Structure 1
Amino acid sequence: MMKNDPGTVVFDLDGTLADTAADLIAAANACFRARGLGDLLDARHDTGIAFHGGRAMLRAGYGRAGADRLIPPGAEDEDYPRLLAFYDGCIARSTTLYPGVTAALEALAADGFILSVCTNKPGALAEKLLRALGIRDRFAAMVAADTLPVRKPDPRCYAAAVERAGGTVARSFLVGDTETDLRTARASGVRVALVGFGPEGDGVARLAPDAVLAGFEALPALARGWLRPLG
């Protein structure tokens, strides 16, 4: 462990820092419309599907197309790059940061903590979104879906997000919103706080994380408690 390591807070992106569901679903629906299937996902009711990724949205939509609408073999592989292209064009149209994100990041930085991002979003899209939201410069590093040959919940992704930011895994924790984030933290041997304001609300408590965040205003104090100064 490095001396004077201030501690690192690692964030998931979609569903944790920002509510991206509407723009993700719009991109999936564009793929469905291109096949003559209409809008198969709903921006209000299918947010949980959206936060599981593009392929999950495509599979869910195909499953709703109806037995009379034949989905050709390989449709998911064909439509996934199209979905990413559609999404690139509307990446921050409806997306917003969750309340309190900016203030929490400022408070964590003022306390000296290192901040990083570990996401299963493709890197170019994650970079573009964080810049559009005005918070990219808050993070010392980012590891995305295509940064390494593996993705979350593989602990190598988390370790890279911490170490590339200049921290050590032993003095870090993860903030996320899904079971994937919880599994990432458990595989990495670190604590995890899941947000209680995503699609599942405080139902994420069923996953037994180390903490459930009711709002970002609680995060700085949590970080101080979990990453006490060395010595």
Structure 2
Amino acid sequence: MAGTVVFDLDGTLADTSADLIAAANACFAARGIDVALDPTVDALTAFHGGRAMLRAGYGRMGGDLLLPPGAEDEDYPRLLDYYGRNIAVHTRLYPGVEDALDRLLADGHIMTVCTNKPQGLAETLLTALGVRNRFAALVAADTLPVRKPDPRPYRAAVERAGGDVAASFLVGDTETDRKTAAAAGVRVALVSFGPEGEAISRLAPDALIGHFDELPDLARDWLG
């Protein structure tokens, strides 16, 4: 059976921070809140999700400004709506992604995505970036009742693609991905070009990837 390479999406396959931040800033502007997150400085916050961005912005409000009760619950669906309509304005695949995916396919590997992005948004984004057809399956935040770092989404991503968990590994960019791999009992390669940069080495992944050119050789080593 072919080996399976499982990919996280945001911060791993694509830099989505600018479009995520823009969606949060649109929510602040709609409320007349004079704060704005920065797509570079706040990139790591963006990759922790919509609610994390909203809370970060609220936390920068002046002391004399008050939010109505339930503001976060009101703004979160608005953020998702704005983001869904502007999902690939600034988002780009990281350098070397498409070549690496093609080489993995040529080597006979199965590829699949396991992300904590909502399913509809993940499908839309991968399609807009022109790579959805490279992946045999996609398991997202709302595909199952649980999400990463619970190992069940990872296992489902492999199995729905026709792979074997024992012959798979995860490519990601965050502590969540590190914990997911540990829970699933598989190896993890973390990218050093994501939001944390080289600092991600603090998590002691099984491998650190500085460019996608390195991935096909790593897959040959780990999966045969």
Distance 1:169 1:199 in 2: 27
Match of 2:37 among 19, 41, 59: 41
**2:114 paired residue number:** 118
TM (normalized to structure 1)? 0.96
Deviations 1:197-228 (A, max 9, x none): 01211110001111110100000000010112
Deviations 1:115-164 (A, max 9, x none): 00000001111000000000000000000011000010010000000000
**2:61 paired residue number:** 65
For 2:142, give the aligned amino acid: D
Runs of 4+, deviation exceeding 4 Å: none
Correspondence 1:94 to 2:98:
no
Distance 1:115 1:48 in 2: 25
CA contact (8 A) 1:30 1:39 kept: no
Aligned pairs, number: 224
Correspondence 1:213 to 2:209:
yes
**2:26 paired residue number:** 30
Match of 1:179 among 150, 159, 175: 175
CA contact (8 A) 2:35 2:61 kept: no
CA contact (8 A) 2:115 2:140 kept: yes
Q: CA deviation at 1:178?
A: 0.3
**1:83 paired residue number:** 79
Which stretches in structure 2 are left out of the alignment for 5+ residues? none
Distance 2:105 2:34 in 1: 45
Q: CA deviation at 1:38?
A: 3.0
Distance 2:95 2:145 in 1: 33
**2:14 paired residue number:** 18
Deviations 1:149-188 (A, max 9, x none): 0010010000000000000110000000000000000000
For 2:19, give the aligned amino acid: D
TM (normalized to structure 2)? 0.98
Correspondence 1:150 to 2:146:
yes
**2:126 paired residue number:** 130
**1:164 paired residue number:** 160
Which stretches in structure 1 are left out of the alignment for 5+ residues? none
Distance 2:63 2:148 in 1: 34
**2:186 paired residue number:** 190
CA contact (8 A) 2:17 2:39 kept: yes
Deviations 1:10-67 (A, max 9, x none): 0000000000000000000000111111342011211010011111101111111122
Identity %: 72
Distance 2:43 2:140 in 1: 21
CA contact (8 A) 1:29 1:38 kept: no
Distance 1:220 1:26 in 2: 34
**2:197 paired residue number:** 201
**1:108 paired residue number:** 104
**Aligned alpha-carbon RMSD (Å):** 0.7
Deviations 1:76-110 (A, max 9, x none): 11111000000011100000000000000000000
Q: Which one is further off, 62-71 or 191-200? A: 62-71
